[in-house]
Chain A
Amino acid sequence: MFRPEDLLQDEIEYPEQTRQLQQNYPLSQADQQSLLRIRTRLGGQPAASLPPSAPREEMQTLPLRIPFHEALERPLVGQFLPSPMIQPPG
């Protein structure tokens, strides 16, 4: 599962605990089916025909202020900067 260089010393010394922990998190059937559906949809269409992800992710500049493992909260009013206005030529 892990690359040898990724193993913790503790995992090397107690491989049985590692095995038990890995077995402790089985994927539910519902999740397996969801992932299968996503994978099929993802693989079933040529990249060119996939809907563009708008706006482009590279254009997003929102900082990741919310840790990945914590619940996201509804954005507060004024938390986000307004979209840049397009200036008329001239």
Chain B
Amino acid sequence: MQQRSPAQGNQEFPPDDAALFDRYGPLLFAYILKHVRSREDAEDLTLEVFTAALQKKTLHQFRPEEQLAWLKKVTHNKLVDRYRKAQRRNDVNLDIFVEVLSDDDDPEQVVLRREIDHQLHQLIQRLPALQQQLLYLRYAHNLSAAEIGVLLNKNEGTIRQQLSRARKLLRASYLAQEQKGGY
């Protein structure tokens, strides 16, 4: 999830703003991409969201989950605004499981990891949708339970419980597969 920072050293892009984008940019971009017609539209809309964030000088004083709640509201409002203007919607499929391999990987490790990822991917897909969503938010975007709670309108304790349950279910599924000789 860590992005290279092309703007590092750019005095126009304060570190706090860059950190905010690096923290929540991938998540919001993925969300927006699901709801607009094209990648270009998603880039434009994400830029608008973070432009608004940069203009809100007090945002950095918020706790992380409050920052995310604010960004969520802005994102939602901008999407709704766009729907109202466009009066049409074309879905863009988002494959969050697209594999990216670095060039310097050992080929054997690549094959092994690809196999492991495939198994894990399949097991995750068998989980209930909510648990898949929790795992995605937690491990793709490294969100805290409180931040996930903001997104899913649940309290932190509930999120922690459900995440633990999802992990246990995943382990149980993995063990069951192993015992059946599936993996």
Contacts and interface: CB of A to CB of B under 8 A. Distances in A.
Interface of A: 1-3, 6, 8-11, 14, 17-18, 20-32, 34-47, 50-53, 57, 60, 62, 64, 66-69, 71-72, 74-75, 80
A8 to B, nearest CB: 5
Interface in B88-128: 88-89, 95-100, 113, 116-117, 120-121, 124
Given A28-B100, A44-B10, A71-B34, A10 B167 contact: yes
B164 interface: yes
20 contacts: A10-B168, A24-B97, A24-B120, A24-B121, A24-B139, A24-B140, A32-B3, A35-B26, A36-B6, A38-B47, A39-B18, A43-B7, A44-B10, A51-B51, A53-B55, A57-B74, A64-B72, A69-B133, A69-B152, A74-B88
Nearest to B42: A34
A53 B121 contact: no
B163 A42 contact: no
B1 to A, nearest CB: 6
Contacts of A20: 116, 120
B66 to A, nearest CB: 14
Contact of B54 (A21, A35, A50): A50
Contacts, number: 174
B55 A50 contact: yes
Main secondary structure of the interface of B (DSSP, over half): helix
Interface in B7-52: 7, 10, 12-13, 17-18, 21-22, 25-26, 29-31, 33-35, 39, 42-43, 46-48, 50-52
A66 to B, nearest CB: 7
Interface of B: 1, 3-7, 10, 12-13, 17-18, 21-22, 25-26, 29-31, 33-35, 39, 42-43, 46-48, 50-52, 54-56, 70, 72-74, 76-77, 79-80, 83-84, 87-89, 95-100, 113, 116-117, 120-121, 124, 133, 135-140, 142, 144-145, 151-153, 160, 163-164, 167-168, 170-171
